[in-house]
């Protein structure tokens, strides 16, 4: 399939191949967590708390005696679910808003641009914290907060693409055939604008994992006993001198995943040759 060609090309570089392998591993953890985890993630064993890493517990146990490896495997599920669904919502909304604003222009465009520029001027974490302060903590609100925090980026990117594309002759030629706005936007403009937005979305997923971990660290994300890498690190801070593995392993999981996403995204940009289009917004 032609759509998979850039991915194939990206995997051919060493950087792309390595990062893709890590990503496959993380996704496998998330999907097959019940099969891969040796213990349940929420079984407490207080006498066995803060056990060092060893044969029984590869990554040791936490302050409640829960198996850290199992919690990290399940934590991949939380992190990926939240990050991927939040970014998907954000990309979908950003594509729609950006396409409408870029295509129709006028007062609607000015209104969208004003709001987008306003949110763009704040760091994402601040927007997410403000939103969570309003709607309350929890996994769903983390998702909503992250998707709104990244909306500006995708709206801007899509709008810039559409504004450049709408002056192409084929748009006028299609209108001259009698095509309506709907046909022009969905059959011509969006398919041509899609690639950079999808890649930006992929890169933002890495940032979203960090944002989810940050919110989890503050206790605003997933509520116990649901395992979340950020929340696990947060509980590890109290034990940092007694059981440093509690904070080290979730931290490594976050770092590895995010680095892999960034490297793979970079390889994909290279393969698609779209660095300029991403920068143009």
Q: Please report, as ranges, the residues that interact with other proteins according to CB under 8 A.
A: 168-170, 172-180, 183, 188, 191-192
CA distance 268 to 261: 10
Cα 237 off chain centre by: 25
Ramachandran sector of residue 228 (left: φ over 0; alpha: ψ -120 to 50; beta: rest): beta
Cis-peptide into 225, omega within 30 deg: yes
CB-wise, 131 or 271, nearer to other proteins? 271
**Whole-number minimum distance, CB 104 to other proteins, in Å?**
16
**Whole-number minimum distance, CB 208 to other proteins, in Å?**
29
CB-wise, 181 or 275, nearer to other proteins? 181
CB-wise, 77 or 166, nearer to other proteins? 166
CB-wise, 28 or 179, nearer to other proteins? 179
CA distance 245 to 59: 7
- How many helices and strands in the chain, by DSSP H and E? 13, 0
**Whole-number minimum distance, CB 187 to other proteins, in Å?**
8
**Whole-number minimum distance, CB 176 to other proteins, in Å?**
5
**Whole-number minimum distance, CB 271 to other proteins, in Å?**
18
Ramachandran sector of residue 181 (left: φ over 0; alpha: ψ -120 to 50; beta: rest): alpha
CB-wise, 4 or 35, nearer to other proteins? 4
């Amino acid at each position: 399939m032609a759509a998979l060609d850039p991915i194939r090309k990206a995997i051919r570089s060493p950087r792309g191949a390595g990062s893709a392998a890590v990503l496959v591993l993380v996704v496998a953890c998330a999907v097959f967590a019940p099969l891969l985890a040796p213990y349940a993630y929420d079984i407490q064993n207080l006498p066995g708390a803060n056990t060092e890493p060893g044969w029984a517990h590869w990554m040791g146990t936490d302050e409640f005696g829960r198996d850290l490896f199992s919690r990290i495997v399940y934590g991949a599920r939380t992190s990926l679910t939240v990050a991927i669904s939040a970014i998907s919502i954000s990309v979908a909304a950003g594509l729609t808003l950006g396409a409408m604003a870029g295509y129709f222009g006028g007062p609607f465009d000015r209104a969208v641009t004003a709001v987008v520029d306003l949110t763009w001027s704040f760091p994402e974490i601040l927007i997410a914290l403000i939103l969570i302060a309003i709607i309350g903590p929890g996994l769903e609100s983390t998702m909503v907060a992250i998707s709104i925090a990244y909306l500006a980026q995708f709206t801007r990117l899509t709008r810039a693409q559409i504004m450049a594309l709408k002056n192409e002759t084929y748009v006028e030629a299609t209108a001259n055939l009698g095509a309506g706005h709907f046909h022009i936007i969905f059959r011509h403009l969006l398919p041509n604008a899609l690639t950079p937005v999808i890649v930006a979305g992929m890169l933002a997923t890495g940032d979203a994992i960090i944002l989810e971990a940050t919110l989890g660290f503050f206790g605003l994300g997933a509520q116990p006993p649901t395992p979340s890498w950020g929340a696990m690190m947060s509980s590890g801070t109290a034990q940092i001198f007694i059981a440093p593995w509690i904070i080290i392993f979730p931290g490594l999981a976050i770092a590895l995943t995010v680095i892999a996403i960034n490297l793979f995204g970079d390889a994909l940009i290279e393969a698609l040759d779209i660095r300029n289009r991403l920068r143009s917004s």
